[in-house]
Structure 1
Amino acid sequence: MKDAVETKRDLEASRNGIKALISIGLAWAFDAMDFSILTFVLVDIMKDYHVPLTLAAGVASATTFARLGGGFFGGLLGDYWGRKASLVLSIFWFAVFEFLTGFSIDFTLLYVVRIFYGIGMGAMYANGTPMLMELMPTKWRGIASGIMQSGFSFGFIFAALIYRNWYGFLGWHGLFYVACIPAVLVAIYIWWQLPESTRWKNERAEQTSKKVPISQLFNQGHTWSTIHAAIISVLAFSVTYPINVFYATLLTKNGHFDTAVVADTIILLNVAGIIGNVIGGYVSDLIGRKWVIVISGIATLFCSFLFLDITNDTLRIVFTFLIGLFSIGGVWAAIPTYIAEHFRTSVRSTGQGTTYHFGAALGGAIVPLIVSSVAPYVGGLAWSMTYSVAIASVLISVFALLYKETKGMELE
């Protein structure tokens, strides 16, 4: 009888884990889609609002920087109020401001709206990732991490498809009106179908004080865990975001490719990213989280010269796939579970949301600004992207080696 009860409990946990993986993975994909559309229309923003590339790219950077506030306050809300309600609220938040992006009648309004959008985006990750890791059985966390992180690549593909098929009909403003709809549907599904994290509920029930113990991030031997999570996040974003933000622009301005070629190249990049995330997530359950990051970082270093010769079709196709496999995919495959395993349940949303989006603020927001700013002085955007990605790839490999392996550990 006891075995039957335990079997039923295990089956229910597996079903909940699968539902969480699909729904939270889709939420992240549509979040990424909404963010990524902006990168396809930077040229339009430059033309319509008469701003240089640095200012246009600054919109994406401001959005990314705002994610830090969303990650911190959304994480606090998730640790105090629960993962599920906070996750649903954050999805509705960013969907509303995605819709309002289309109504931006001048550059200042666009800037402000995207900052508010970034707050919701940060809160979504701060609650969705811990919730998924807490609902998944330990042996599946690595592959779940890779599949969920591949949602960002799916988001880029969805954005590329929308851009390719609807840009001519809707214009760049209209793209944002339709992009928010799928996320709202996923939020409704999560509210009705996903349970709250049992691990979070048990932790809250055992606490004598209902305040979120933020001090745990920097005491009881956890200081290095928090600092290391922040450093790894900064470097992971530094590897990927110059590519995410500028590759479409590089293809358009340096390569002089038309809309179809640009979209197809970005789709290839992110298909490779999906493959890299899934394989990397699976392998991280075999050889460890940090070794997947190290191997992928070294491979990205050798692929970073792609940007210097994008007009050669063969090289562009081959190296777009490889850099997607290792930088968009491999480096990131283990990040969701790796960062989650740095923190205790009582502060996991706050810790993961804050350190991940600290990485977004520095690596995802400031590094692209640096890349665009120094481009005129180092031979152009292609050289600037190459230097940035290569340096970040070396550093993330080094810092991954400076922390313990977390493969197979039980969440505290």
Structure 2
Amino acid sequence: MATGYDPADPLAKGTFATAKQGWKDLFIWKQRVVVTNDFGEEHTEWQAPAPLKNPISLFAQLNAKDWTYFLVGFSAWAADAFDFHALSIQTTKLAKYYHRTNTDITTAITLTLLLRSVGAAIFGLAGDKFGRKWPMVMNMIVLGLLQIATIYSATFQQFLAVRSLFGLFMGGVYGNAIAMALENCPVNARGLMSGILQQGYSFGYVLAACVNLGVGGSTNSWKTVFWVGAGLSIGIGFVRACFPESKQFIEARKAGKRAKAPDVFWQETKKMLRQEWRMCIYCIILMTWFNYYSHTSQDSYTTFMLTQKALPSAGATRASILMKTGACVGGTIIGYLSQWFGRRRTIICAAIISACLIPAWILPTTEGGLSASGFMIQFFVQGAWGVIPIHLNELSPPAFRSSFPGVTYQLGNMISSPSAQIVNAIAESHSVKSSNGKPASAYGPVMGVATAIIALGIAVTTALGPEKRGRHFETVGPPVAEVVAKDIEEGRVSYEKAETRATETVDEETGSTDRDTEKK
């Protein structure tokens, strides 16, 4: 047993005990960590966070292959966001094109978000079983084709049907993209890289807004934005096809042969859900708050500026671009700080600051004021989001690092899917005086109250949750299903014994330092 460490009480068992321990640990600078030595002996100790390193030196730790994985994952996530926001930033154009209300058009957003969870489950599990590469290639190409199908939707019903299918394939991108991008990163660089990666979503929004600004405000110009999105998605799909499989997945396959019995992986998936159901529920709740946080504060912001603030289309689009530029900057900086300040403390502080900025966000009447306040609030909204990719990866069961983040994220998306409709419906049912003195839908008050409630919910949920900052990914062995399958296939142990061994693998991999399979 190692000596010279600062001992800590073991990790609490049970929901309320874990919440109580998580709350207390929030005010302790050191972090409670489970360490497993080479002999399989475990102990819990307090570890002080390492000082922040120069970002340039952190970038230098990634080799060319690591950067390739990261950039492809970032690009896929940005294209996914472009495709989604091509609709949300053009709600007014689409409403005129199909002769519907803004609330009717946001039904498409609800359907997209509802079906994303289904796609996340299908393609996330496919990513864990078959690899990160080909599920992502398929996702991106089909997304591009569905963007084209949207353009040729002649009726509103066809439009809704295509956007529903779009949501199904859109849901598979996130889990595989962040797993491929982050599991190859060095441990102390993950906070910074997580912040940059998450801002692929904001970067996609900025690209969509820039294209929207370029095509002008005519009703039919929405189709050009969708053509650009289709080209981006299909292009990234073909680029991903040219690069090799993720290193982590290749090493897992080398460690053991593929299971001949197709049900082994699914048996282990069900076992993971039985063992980790509390973690699953917690992450789904957290992601529900976060998805409401994001969609409530951004999806109707352009409509808010066009109607209540009476800005011209070009001015509202410019303000939206600056708003999401703040998101890109904030997500990168705050994600980087989380490596030192702690994942949970960083999220809580960012959420509280964003709530304090709400009056400054909705009260200005000029393009300059709205641009500046939008920049600042999204700096902290997406700053909190910048911690999420690595936080979810560190909380994930090791053999399910592709499916777990994607499924929990998209289930949160599904629950929060009516957010745009709720905001639009409540806003359109209440009137306020607009900047030009005419009655207008009450987007500002509705968005402000909703964002304040959500920010408080995020702070409380995060304060009562777990954290596994610094967890090692690179020592994780193959997926549990492959360990079981190899043992059974080669006749070394019975199924029952192999199953026990697999369970031990999962248990041992919950600490910050994981033993690989060979040491067993």
Within the candidate set 374, 390, 396, 1:343 is matched to 396
Instruction: Call closer, same or farther: CA 1:145–1:12 in 2, change over 3 Å.
Output: closer
C-alpha contact 1:127 1:353 (8 A) present in aligned 2? yes
- The 1-side partners of 2:363 and 2:241 are apart by 47
2:246 corresponds in structure 1 to 196
1:8 corresponds in structure 2 to none
TM-score, normalised by the number of residues in structure 1: 0.91
Could you tell me which amino acid in structure 2 is paired with residue 343 of structure 1? S
Unaligned runs of 5+ residues in structure 1 are: 1-10
Within the candidate set 204, 207, 213, 1:158 is matched to 207
Within the candidate set 295, 301, 306, 1:252 is matched to 306
C-alpha contact 2:216 2:314 (8 A) present in aligned 1? no
Q: Please identify, of 204-213 and 104-113, the stretch whose mean Cα deviation from structure 2 is larger.
A: 204-213
C-alpha contact 2:395 2:467 (8 A) present in aligned 1? no
1:316 corresponds in structure 2 to 370
1:384 corresponds in structure 2 to 446
Instruction: Summarize the alignment of residues 215-226 of structure 1 with structure 2, pairs less than 5 Å apart.
Output: 215-220=270-275, 222-226=276-280
1:330 corresponds in structure 2 to 383
2:292 corresponds in structure 1 to 238
C-alpha contact 1:59 1:114 (8 A) present in aligned 2? yes
1:359 corresponds in structure 2 to 412
1:368 corresponds in structure 2 to 420
TM-score, normalised by the number of residues in structure 2: 0.73
C-alpha contact 1:288 1:406 (8 A) present in aligned 2? no
- The 2-side partners of 1:19 and 1:377 are apart by 49
Instruction: Summarize the alignment of residues 119-158 of structure 1 with structure 2, pairs less than 5 Å apart.
Output: 119-158=168-207
Shift, 1:59, TM fit? 1.0
- The 1-side partners of 2:430 and 2:461 are apart by 27
1:404 corresponds in structure 2 to 466
2:128 corresponds in structure 1 to 79
Instruction: Call closer, same or farther: CA 1:165–1:313 in 2, change over 3 Å.
Output: closer
Instruction: Call closer, same or farther: CA 1:60–1:306 in 2, change over 3 Å.
Output: farther
Relative to its length, the structure with more helix (as a share) is: 1
1:30 aligns with 2:79: yes
Shift, 1:204, TM fit? 8.2
- The 2-side partners of 1:144 and 1:156 are apart by 19
Shift, 1:118, TM fit? 1.3
Does the residue aligned with 1:255 lie in a helix, a strand or coil? coil
Q: 1:270-326: per-residue Cα shift (whole Å, max 9, x none)? A: 110010111011111111111121111001111223453241445323311111101
Identity between Structure 1 and Structure 2 (%): 24
Could you tell me which amino acid in structure 2 is paired with residue 342 of structure 1? L
Unaligned runs of 5+ residues in structure 2 are: 1-59, 432-441, 474-508, 510-520
Could you tell me which amino acid in structure 1 is paired with residue 245 of structure 2? P
Shift, 1:201, TM fit? 4.3
RMSD across aligned C-alpha pairs, in angstroms?
Answer: 2.1
Instruction: Call closer, same or farther: CA 1:176–1:313 in 2, change over 3 Å.
Output: closer
Within the candidate set 166, 173, 195, 2:223 is matched to 173
- The 2-side partners of 1:100 and 1:49 are apart by 16
Q: 1:220-250: per-residue Cα shift (whole Å, max 9, x none)? A: 3x22211111111111111110222100111
- The 2-side partners of 1:237 and 1:374 are apart by 19
C-alpha contact 2:85 2:208 (8 A) present in aligned 1? yes
